Structure 1
Amino acid sequence: MEYLIYRNNPVNQFVQIELSFDCESNTTYSLQLPSWRPGRYEITNYAQKIRAFQVNHGTETIHWQKETKDLWTFKSVQAGRYRISYEFHAAQMDAGGSWSDDEQLYINFINCCFAVKDFENAPVKVQLNLPEGFEVATALPKKGKHLYQATDYQHLVDSPLMASASLKHYSYQVKRSNFHLWFQGEIHFDVPQLIRQFEAFTEKQVDAFGEFPAEDYHFLYQLLPYKHYHGVEHQFSTVITFGPADSLKEKSEMDEFFGVSCHELYHFWNVCRIRPKPLLPYDFSKEVYFDTGIVAEGVTTYMGDLFLLKSGYFSLSTFLDNMQKQLAREFGSFGWQNQAISASSWDLWLDGYKAGIPERKVSIYNRGALISTILDLMLLDQGSSLHQVMKIMWERFGKPQKGYTMQDFTQVIAACYGNDQVIQQFFEKYVQENHDIFPLLCEQMESVNISIKTIPHTQVLAANWGIQALSDGTISKVHPDSPAYKLLMQGDKIITINHQSFSPALPLENEPLQLEIDRFGRKLTPALEASTTNYYLEYLLIAGESNPKRKRWVK
């Protein structure tokens, strides 16, 4: 099988694609376009970006038909080479999309390449017709000038590609593996310093798993002139989109950049190889449900930050600042009261990547990271760690390419902890059910001499009356325990408070409130009594003197 990819007009963003392969006579062939991609468990319907589809055998046009929204079929007339040609609209600039313009061609093959039934395990060649001077960044093995070959279809669609005349390439080596850094866009940071810091967290991760089973790994970066933040994992690479590029002059933005980079590298083991059983192998034609999002993304989110601490890039203060944000996200909403994290994992296909209805679900990333923190600290008390758990998961499931279940993960933790009953009860309460993790998190953080303190929300309206509003007065949240919950709606816009125009900085005391609101075109004037109740809180992590357990934790 061979793909030819070229562009007649880069700026109209249509990419011309030709797929050719040998067919037997009088045989029906099925071409399945993916409806989702690895790392994003929602139906995306890439078929909507395809036009001008046709099938040819020599000069003869072959009849074809669609069986579903993303499944095409045709019947060969005689044996020979058949060509499927079509155009794909590459106009989605994020870590999972594809993009074409006058400066570059960026392709995630999962967006636009067909799986041909009974040919899924066949090698796939990709020939690119590119302008002179273009360089290519991809993990696909190179076979000639702009010619690449994947071992099979899954290898192809797990190997994104960037091509440009302005690509910048750097590299470093850890334990005989080569790590490539490819940048498209402006660089506003010290590259040698970044490489030293990347080497440090890479070495820590490789040491934790005991090996890095790849000769080469590629970080593909799109440094954009506008605000953006996204990363997607692949078997031998990652794509990260970040912007604005010039914001990376600031330490706070570079912290975010390092955070997503360290997170995606950890996925090399966890998800790309240590994979939930339903995802092995991938079936991109339909939803594939799994309840282990806490492992796939929760553990990875926790480990991404922890390895930046262990490698010396994060100070303890920065690490705890990030954790404070996780606490605010987790306990500043009440989705955890309505759905367990295992159920939220299952429902990723439903609304996992959008806000959804109020207080319905939890984030497998955020709550998963906090539960992972608790588990790691519990395991440290028993002479083990979550690193040890994940190394066993690697040896038992990742290396032999054997999918795992929640029961498998639970059993590994129980064996490392040394008490099946304690771990089974933990998973029942905090993973399968939706018990409050805050008391246990406080207890475990105290064991490393770090206290979690709560203070009233800095916005008095949120703290005393349970109303969170955007800068223009639009109400984004109302605390379910506050009197305002029965008077105000999400989406109401506060015009005045006590006859003063709304402002987030409006000084409020312990006083009754007379509001004027716009409720989707209607003017209302609800009143609220004076209040000093603390509804919405903020969280502070205060580190005392280090102790032996903390030293083991951050080592």
Structure 2
Amino acid sequence: MKALFSSLILGAISFSSSLIADVKYQLSIENGEHHLGKVTATFPAGNEKLNISLPSWRTGRYEILDMANGIRLFDAKDATGNPLNWQKIDSNTWQINADPSSTVNISYEVYANELAMRSRHIDDSHAFIDASGFFMFAEDYRQESIVVDLNVPKDWRSVSGLETGEHPHQFIAENYDVLVDSPIETGINKLFKWQVDGRDYELVIWGEGNYDTDQMIADLKKLVKTGADIWHAYPYKRYVFMVHATSGARGATEHLNSTIIQRQRDSFLERDDYIGFITTASHEFVHTWNVKGYRPQGLTPYNYIGHNYTDLLWIAEGSTSYFDDLLLIRGGIITLKEYFKGLSRNINKHLARPGREIQSASETSFDKWINQGGDHDINYSTNIYSEGALISWALDAKLIEESKGKVSYRDVHKALYKDFPLPQGFTSDDVKQILKAVSGKDYANWWQQNVDSPAELNFEAMLQSVGLVFDYPKGVKFQPQAEMSGNYKNGQLFLERVKRNGAAWHAGLTPGDIVFAINGKRISESFDNYIKRFKTGDTLEISYFRRDEIHTTQLTLSKKANKAKSISLVENPTRLQKHLFKAWLGVDYPSSL
């Protein structure tokens, strides 16, 4: 029976336990220590040939992951248990010759040992279940209602943003799109519940660590109130923060009304570490609107089998990265000093990335699926997160300054949420139309110069408008650098990165080269320390291996400040600067940092 109404934005709705699902899944975990689970699924009658697929990627990670590589022992039967003929027709699709008058029952084993991918993981203490890594789907039945039953050890607790069914390990989803965006954490865990403004919240933590749950909950309570600073409504009635305190895995993924955050178990206590956690929580919380409430064309509806192209990932991810810190300031969770420390770091990283001169934000958005990473990426590409965040800030600064604080980039996202709720998707032209509507000005030229072309961002001017400066701190000194890096071992530097148009680049060095001597002498310590005995402008003879052959080249050292540029207050801020500062961050201009 189909659900009585549909809403991807609200997530899983309440079902009567007497309702019968059209698609049923069961996951049984009996050998958790071996990372194994057994899945059975039932699909409705009606097809002579039924194509069953496991997604080739998961939402929130724009990369083909080949998740079907963990599937074994696939089998298919009809309602009476008779075997059905089937064949695998591509890497993640099984085609079943079915009896149209009978339901189709499939079973298979899943090897789930990909914790860091946040797609599938089973061990003897828990299972993290992202449907895209466990549950196959049929496109013909993608919109049917679903019930998921878990057969797990007795002492395990199961938590999800999905509605609970007839028992604590049963969950109900309106359709496959809701299921795939509502992960389940089951196992030995800690669970905390609270309410804010009539909405229910939960924090579930798997793993031991140096976290302080009282502080986490206190700050999460502040965070969830800040949604009203941007959007006109909340898209959920219940939200679940899932945390993995573990080893060897870190990152996070947004979902419909929940998020999964992974951090090293000992990376919560120190202030910088904790800010990393709460910033991640804020980032995924912003995604509840930006991506899960509205998202670009090309990402809706999701194509679970192939690439989902859009030139606006810089908004989907980058604007989220911009708003996450902004909400922490507005919520009183971090200080201005901490905010500006992070913003200064992001500016410096941007200025040190040669790829910003080569690739535009729209290009890097479209090419995210084939991003190479590594040295080539740094030299020739941008990043949808960091670049998108800075472009979002530039838009915000321009809107605030030109409107004297009456309009901001928050108004753009408020309009996106209002005018393009899922399943609609928005385009670049739609965003430009919204910019014109909220500001009264045409942003086509600005867009061409900063989004469709490599952005030329004037950080000094952006900061000056709100009474801030970006410069080297007092007492800064300059030291020599070669603008290359790698792994130093046993007197050799194994090059991994060479900055485009830097000193090492002009010397002809490249990743893969092995530097073993300077001026005819073996390197006796880490390369960066070794060159401190020289001066900026000195020319060194570099000896290195390439293809196991000895080569030499001349490298002229460039200079690098021993302290990075940072944000500080102007000496005598004007009344307008103070006004625009508050319009930007939502707090008064400080007397000091």
TM-score by length of 1: 0.92
Where structure 1 has 5 or more consecutive residues not aligned to the other structure, the ranges are none
SS in 2 for 1:6: strand
SS of 1:48's partner is helix
Aligned counterpart, 2:398: 378
The one of 309, 312, 317 equivalent to 2:332 is 312
Name the structure 2 match of 1:50: 71
Find the aligned partners of 2:141 and 2:435 in 1 and give their Cα distance: 40
The residue aligned with 2:212 is: 190
Q: Does the C-alpha gap of structure 1 residues 131 and 153 become closer, same or farther in structure 2, counting only changes over 3 Å?
A: same
Structure 1 residue 524 and structure 2 residue 551: aligned?
Answer: yes
C-alpha contact (below 8 Å) 1:6/1:17 kept by paired residues: yes
Among all aligned residue pairs of Structure 1 and Structure 2, give the percentage whose two residues are the same amino acid.
25
Q: Which amino acid aligns with 2:30?
A: N
User: In structure 2, which of residues 560, 567, 587 is the aligned counterpart of residue 541 of structure 1?
Assistant: 567
1:466 aligns with 2:483: yes
Say which SS state the counterpart of residue 7 (structure 1) adopts: strand
Contact 2:516–2:543 at 8 Å: present in 1 too?
Answer: yes
Matched residue, 1:292: 312
Tell me the residue number matched to 1:426.
Answer: 446
Match of 1:475 among 495, 500, 509: 495
1:47-78 C-alpha deviation (Å, 9 max, x unpaired) = 11111111112332211012222221112246
In structure 2, the CA distance between the partners of 1:128 and 1:170, relative to structure 1 (3 Å rule), is: same
Aligned counterparts of 1:76 and 1:117: Cα–Cα separation in 2: 15
Q: 1:515 to 1:356 in 2, by over 3 A?
A: closer
Corresponding residue number in structure 1 for 2:233? 211
User: Against the structure 1 CA distance between its residues 143 and 484, is the aligned structure 2 distance closer, same or farther, given a 3 Å change threshold?
Assistant: closer
- Counterpart mapping for 1:160-175 below 5 A: 160-164=183-187, 166-175=188-197
CA distance 1:44–1:22, change in 2 (3 Å): same
Q: Which residue matches 1:5?
A: 27
Aligned partner of 2:157 in structure 1 is 135
1:179·1:216 contact (CA, 8 Å) conserved in 2? yes
Partner of 2:542 in structure 1? 515
Amino acid at match of 2:545: D
**Shift in Å at residue 97 of structure 1?**
1.8
Give the one of 454, 459, 466 matched to 1:448.
Answer: 466
What per-residue deviation string (whole Å, max 9, x for no partner) do you get for residues 321-341 of structure 1? Answer: 212221232221211222111
Is the 8 Å Cα contact of residues 479 and 562 (structure 2) preserved in structure 1? Answer: no
CA displacement at 1:354 relative to structure 2: 6.2
Per the alignment, residue 104 of structure 2 pairs with 82
- C-alpha deviation, 1:520, in angstroms: 5.0
Q: CA deviation at 1:371?
A: 0.9
| CA shift in 2, pair 1:49/1:355, >3 Å | farther
Alpha-carbon spacing, 1:372–1:95, altered in 2? closer, same or farther (3 Å): same
Aligned pair 1:155/2:181, yes or no? no
Cα gap change, 1:553/1:476 in structure 2, threshold over 3 Å: closer, same or farther? same
Q: CA deviation at 1:264?
A: 0.2
Q: 1:391 aligns with which of 414, 437, 454?
A: 414
Match of 1:179 among 163, 178, 201: 201
The farther-off stretch of 171-180 and 283-292 is 171-180
In structure 2, the partner of 1:32 is 53
Show the counterpart of 1:259. Answer: 279
Q: Which amino acid aligns with 2:517?
A: T
For residue 277 of structure 1, what is the aligned residue in structure 2?
297
Q: Which residue of 2 aligns with 1:550?
A: 581
Comparing 334-343 with 295-304, greater Cα deviation is found at 334-343
* Counterpart code for 1:508: R
- Rounded to whole Å, the distance in 2 between the matches of 1:355 and 1:65 is 42
Superposition deviation, residue 389 in structure 1: 1.3
How many angstroms apart in 2 are the aligned matches of 1:322 and 1:207?
21
- Residues 5 and 302 of structure 1: CA distance in aligned 2, closer, same or farther (over 3 Å): same
For the 8 Å contact 1:29–1:117, the answer to whether it is kept is no
Which SS does the other structure have where 1:490 is aligned?
Answer: coil
Please tell me the residue identity of whatever aligns with 2:501.
D
| Alpha-carbon distance, 1:157 to partner | 0.9
SS in 2 for 1:248: coil
Contact 1:482 1:535 in 2 (8 A): no
Is the Cα contact below 8 Å between 1:35 and 1:70 reproduced in 2?
A: yes
C-alpha distance in structure 1 between counterparts of 2:175 and 2:304, whole Å: 15
Query: Is the alpha carbon distance of 1:267 and 1:118 closer, same or farther for their aligned partners in structure 2, counting shifts above 3 Å?
Result: same
Q: Secondary structure at the match of 2:51?
A: strand
Distance (Å, rounded) in 1 between the aligned partners of 2:158 and 2:426: 36
Structure 1 CA distance, aligned partners of 2:291 and 2:345?
Answer: 25
Q: Which residue of 2 aligns with 1:407?
A: 429
Change (3 A) 1:493 1:172: farther
* Alpha-carbon separation, structure 2, partners of 1:7 and 1:157: 20
- The 2-side partners of 1:457 and 1:54 are apart by 68
**Distance (whole Å) between structure 1 residues aligned to residue 317 and residue 373 of structure 2:** 13
Are residue 493 (structure 1) and residue 514 (structure 2) matched?
yes
Partner of 1:122: 144
43-52 or 484-493, larger mean C-alpha shift: 484-493
Number of positions where the alignment pairs a residue of Structure 1 with one of Structure 2: 543
The answer on whether the counterparts of 1:294 and 1:345 sit within 8 Å (CA) in structure 2 is yes
Change (3 A) 1:264 1:532: closer
Q: Distance in 2 between matches of 1:484 and 1:356?
A: 15
1:446 offset after TM fit, Å?
1.2
Contact 1:201 1:308 in 2 (8 A): yes
User: Cα offset for 1:377?
Assistant: 1.3
Q: 1:222 aligns with which of 241, 244, 250?
A: 244
Q: Distance in 2 between matches of 1:542 and 1:302?
A: 19
Q: What is the deviation of 1:496?
A: 3.3
Return the alpha-carbon distance in structure 1 between the equivalents of residues 495 and 480 of structure 2: 11
Deviation at 1:251, TM superposition (A): 0.9
**Per-residue CA distance 1:214-249 (angstroms, 9 max, x = gap):** 11011111111x253211011111111111x12311
Secondary structure at 1:221 match in 2: strand
Aligned to 1:304, the other structure's residue is in SS state helix
Distance 1:445 1:346 in 2: 30
Counterpart amino acid of residue 580 in structure 2: K
> Cα RMSD over matched residues?
2.4
Conserved? CA contact 1:23–1:79, under 8 Å: yes
The residue that corresponds to 2:81 in the other structure is 59
Asked if the contact 1:231/1:264 (under 8 Å) is kept, the reply is yes
How far has the Cα of 1:346 moved from its partner? 0.4
Q: 1:532 to 1:127 in 2, by over 3 A?
A: closer
TM-score (norm. length: structure 2):
0.86
- Structure 1 pair 447–353 and aligned structure 2 pair: CA distance change class (3 A): same
Is this contact kept in 1: 2:478–2:559, CA < 8 A? no
Partner amino acid, structure 2, of 1:108 = D
Match of 1:525, SS?
A: strand
CA–CA distance in 2 between the matches of 1:147 and 1:361?
A: 45
SS at match of 2:165: strand
Q: How far did 1:266 drift?
A: 0.2
Q: Deviation of residue 457 (structure 1)?
A: 10
